[in-house]
Every structure is written in C-alpha cells, then in structure tokens.
Structure 1
C-alpha cells in the first residue's frame, strides 16, 4: 500500500486512480481499497474527481520530524556556524536504504536554488557527503551492499574488488573526512565528515560544498577542519542525549 506514496514526485505531483492502479499492477478492488485507506489517513488528498496528490498528514509528520528527530536536534546551530566559517551552504544527511537523504540544510546568501536540499536523495557512492557515510557503515552492511551494487562501486572509483573497496574506505576512515571535486557539478568541491555512534559507525554526515569559480578564496584545509569539528560536535551531542 505504501508504494502508492512513492509514485508522487516533483514532476508528477498528481496521479489519477487509473494510473495508480496500473503502476501498482494490482486489481481495481485492491487499488481502490489502498486509495480509500490512504485518503482517510490524510496521506493522500483528492484534488478533483479521481485524482490525488500527497496529503496534509505528511506535512504534519514533517513538522514532528523537525521537532523531535535526534539528528536534527543535535545539529542545532552547527550548520549555521559552518556557513559563517566557510561562506557556503551546509548540509546534514543520513543513510536511507542504498542512498543518502538530506535531512537538514543551512543556505548561504545567494546560494544556487538547484543544490542538494532537504528531502532529496543521492547515490551512496557519489559525493563527499555520501562516501563518508559509506566508509563508516557497519561491516555487515558493506558486505551486503557490495555484491548488490558492485558495478556502481567500481564506476564510482571505489574499487574493482572487495579488497580494493575496503582499502578505499579504510583510507577515508583514517583521514576522518571525504573530499570530492566535480562529482555532481564541474568545479564544485565537497567536504564531509561522519556523525558517529559510540560504536564508531555512521548515523549521518555533515558537509559543505562550494564552486571553485564562485569562491576561489576558500581554504580547503580550513574547510576540512571546520567540517570535522562540526561532525564531532553533533556526534557528542547525540551521545549525551542517549545518556540522559
């Protein structure tokens, strides 16, 4: 039933009943039952006869996430401080299935509107903010991910064998950060550091990005230190909350 919600997107915000049933490849009776249940729960809204969009309950749930999500609460003020130090937008992300989801952001003045933002996903193998999460995932998760996405891992330059893959991630863990250039947009630098549990596995990452053409004055070493400190602050706050 929840697969219905995954159909809606920025390019397709409204779906007809017939199109939903066809996309789900289910019977009409099952499709109508799903839509009735989701509509009654507020997860879908009827925009006109036989057509639906995402419903108001999702907005309500998003507010609850903003008010109660431990990762967001632990990052309060940290992203703003990063923007002040680096001069460009800061992002807070977490792993979601085999991808990375942006859960928080602080935009710098005049930041381009098309940059990665809250609610968007990116591949787990591209970009600093994704790769550093990958490097600190538990060993059993990496073992499960590798055979399933071996080609994507090799295409991302992370290694053509399991040993090479582990060695690449080990280097990132030793450094404590990831630095990438041009993996999504030419000339755009990304720096990210992991947010860690008490077991030293990742629950997320924090990072900044800037365009070399726009910001030639950014000191990369300074950016790395600032991002690592931000990640340490968030990690420590999370651990403190767990102890309370």
Structure 2
C-alpha cells in the first residue's frame, strides 16, 4: 500500500528530485510533511550525507503545535480552522508558546503567514534545529511543508536567509512540477 501511495501521489513524485538536490546542497535532512485530519506526518525524507537519525522522520506523527513544519502548515489554514483548533487545543497552544488567547494565537499564525517560514531550535529534538516553508499543494486539499533539519551546532553556522531562500525556491519548483503532473494526468482522462 505504501508503495502505491508513494508512486501515485503527484506531490511526492514532484518533490523527490527537488528535495534530493536541496539535501545535497545543504548537507541537511529534508522532509516533506503533510496534514491528515489533525495529524502532521512526514511523508517523505531525503537524508543528509552523514545519515543521522531524526526524532520525527518519515512516517512518525509530529506534535501539532511544535516544530517548524507543523507551525507552517497550521498557519496556512483558514481563520475558521484556526478558531476550531484554538477551541479544541487552547492549553496545548499556550504550552507551545503560540498564544495564551485566541487573539494571540491568530496573531502568531498571521505572522508566520507573512514571514513564509519558521525557524525551530530544539522543539522536537533537543539536539536538532531547522527551518520550514509551505509547499503549495495545488489541487490537493491539505497543506504541506518542506523542512530542513540538522544539528543545533551546524544550524548555528548556517546563513538562515540563504537557507530560507533556497527552501522557498525548492518549494516553488515542487509546486510547478506537481502542477505539471496534474496537467499530464488530465490529458489521459
């Protein structure tokens, strides 16, 4: 079943070469995470050259309100979905530092939308750090995030502005390739 999902998912097909190149260029692990209901799950992983182990690699659900990938994905949702999430998870949201009130939470989500990325240090793994950007999923219903992860020590040495620009370019390339896959599949209908 997993094989068929990986072969049939247009976003996964489109992201593989782009993520592989990004992993080579940065020397970091690169993940694609998507939202399924109220779960965030890494659906693809391109490992870095040294093959380190990630606390939340492919197939392991991530916390809903911690980590760059989860925050970018949650921020991309509508105000109505934010309100529902806040009503259902207010204590968890406050604990994660995303706001002690609805107004603060909504403000944080809008700020992430404006920034277009999230930097995360030690939120999911005390020794790891990374960055996440939104991947526009075209015709797909649920949002996705591209996440770059490395050690905290290595992350401290990385030019964050350059990394974010590389990631945003990779996300755009993935969106374009995914849209092409959508158009190609329509030709055969």
TM-score relative to the length of structure 2: 0.88
8 Å contact from structure 2 (residues 69, 133) kept in 1: yes
Q: Secondary structure at the match of 1:191?
A: strand
5+ residue gaps in structure 1? Answer: 1-60
- Indicate the residue corresponding to 1:175 in structure 2: 115
User: What are the equivalent positions in structure 2 for 1:1-244 lying under 5 Å apart?
Assistant: 61-197=1-137, 203-214=143-154, 217-244=157-184
TM-score relative to the length of structure 1: 0.69
Greater relative CO (CA pairs within 8 A, separation 6+): 2
- Residue deviations 1:13-56 (CA, integer Å, cap 9, x gap): xxxxxxxxxxxxxxxxxxxxxxxxxxxxxxxxxxxxxxxxxxxx
- Indicate the residue corresponding to 2:187 in structure 1: none
Q: What is the CA distance between 1:214 and its match in structure 2?
A: 4.5
Distance 1:202 1:131 in 2: 14
8 Å contact from structure 2 (residues 98, 105) kept in 1: yes
Aligned length: 183
5+ residue gaps in structure 2? Answer: 185-189
8 Å contact from structure 1 (residues 85, 226) kept in 2: no
